[in-house]
Amino acid sequence: MRAVLQRVTEASCKVDGNITGHIEQGFLVLLGIEDADTDEDLEWLAQKIANMRVFSDENGLMNKALADIDGNILLISQFTLFASTKKGNRPGFTRAARPDKAIPLYEATISRLSALLNKEVACGVFGADMKISLVNDGPTTIIIDTKNKE
């Protein structure tokens, strides 16, 4: 699994003009799922996201996690995070998991993050043409890949 975390002051997702998810301060998380991903990857990634300390403390240092600031998550599925650009100018997406594998892992990620934060996780719509709006805070952007745990 690959995630791009963007620290935001607000973010939202629209599908067909309707807002499917909106948050104030927290993380916009773009999530890519590949065929090799497992429940172990999901658990490791969810823990990383929930405990990532990139929010400012009283001294302006990045020492606080989502729970410390009562932050939220907007989770967006994004298979293009596994684009292969080695040949030509048209990316290939063969590493991205097909929906029959990706949807259950995406939904399980929503559930796990919700349990870890003890609150609802806002979402996009898997496979939809989504319009994402955000106000990036910092900017602070972190890339996490479960295949690079060490």
Strands 55-56, 26-32: pairing is unpaired
Closest CA to 99 of 148, 35, 7, 56: 35
Backbone φ and ψ of 45, nearest 5° = -65, -45
Question: Catalytic: 80?
Answer: yes
Closest CA to 102 of 73, 128, 126: 126
Residues forming a β-bridge with 56: 62
| Selected catalytic residue, list 9, 38, 80, 141 | 80
Which residues, other chains included, contact 28 with Cβ-Cβ below 8 Å and sequence gap of 6+?
5, 6, 8, 11, 73, 74, 76, 132, 134
Catalytic residues: 80
